[in-house]
Chains A and B, each alone.
Chain A
């Protein structure tokens, strides 16, 4: 009754198994070939390493360093990658960049045009770590030619930031799909003073993600010169922008007049009260202790926690905490004081924990 169906199914199964077996043979062949190539690359690395080191340290060129095969390209690329991650000093880094530029940039130029996403990405990674600025144009071509993936675009932006490309701000603020705040941070982390100034000047024109990233980066890099800018943002904005500006100020560790921020300890937002507590711990002005003690009675756990942590940072902090623990009528404040009296410095607290 089902004879035909059975034959058909059996034939299909057999065919699939045969196709899979053929694929297996191909993959096994490929693996054997790659194991062999890997061995050649390792051998080549051994030969090139001393010559490359001599070049990077003393700038003595050896003709053996000229890349004339794929194996040599891979060997040199791997050696340079590991060198780039350990080398310090401008001249040595420049030497790495120079040889990468001379010997490898041609390959990367072609790879940037590859149809394979992973090949293009690998090329971008290498251009980045070797700082091959001569490929700036090719990166821009990649950005504009077809529709590159988000990963590619983001990595291009990072590289262009390292190259101090003048049109960067326009590129990143007008990205077709929008850039995440985290990605903005990666990019901004690399820009120079001039670009920063431009960013700060156009601050209010940007989207929120970029605004937050600018504030975060100033804080992370502790750029003291932008304190007035941060103070102005904290004063003239509200919500998340204000909170980020305050966080950045705390991490820069300097404010002109701390009394301006006393009002924050009375804010309706617990995040702002908590940041006030944190700031008063950084500034360590004796007149603030009383406010911190008041914050120990706050209804939010995080505010009490931060107030306790800040009090502890004062020279007599432990005494103050002990007195709260022994004499205060508020059990929550006592609990928190008890924790900070006992805590020691082993405890880490992170702003990000506030989500």
Chain B
């Protein structure tokens, strides 16, 4: 019965048809460029040069990465970014969400706080960056004025202008912007936990902290892993807020990998070296998320079910 064969064949094609657009987009705009990037990293070339004048240099660009002090500064800054972001946005965000959902406060308060804390995340990153530049400004900025007011002159800093504080000042801004956002996602996740569990625990006399560790945390485990993954990967990709606030300065102290890559490529005309940095960034983020998914059993676990 040829008709049947044809139908079966067509049916076997169906999933591919559904996947086709996604695959095309990903090949053209993600995978193809990444492969290209690796090829580019083997050449010495600038934005100006025609492709005939590209010079093949083998792995020279990679040896240079290994010897580059600024590269290490960037990596360390990215690590700080990741650690602080997971601690504040994800962990603290979860605690805040749990507090909001524990019904300690009346509903109306909840709504106000949720709205207020979520608000920074709807602002464009440049608006946030410029605003905080003003807040950190040495003489007229909010922070130094507050410190002065509190009698803590000794702690006044040129927050974005000192090598020791610049990156942390920027990381702080990210926490300001995103903690509320992640908190809301946790609120949603907590609401998905069956109420009966909490009621049962309450009848059993469990206090809030016990409920948090025995019901909330296991209940949002999946969300927690997803959020941590996204946050860590985001920390290694960070570019915009750094570029807006310090562009990596002073003296490369707040350089992050993304920022440095952009600078090397589009400011210093060293596209080959920038591509090598890009490949390194690719490896780092890839390995990180792989390890994290592995540890959390994210995809695998879902496969099983």
A binds B: no
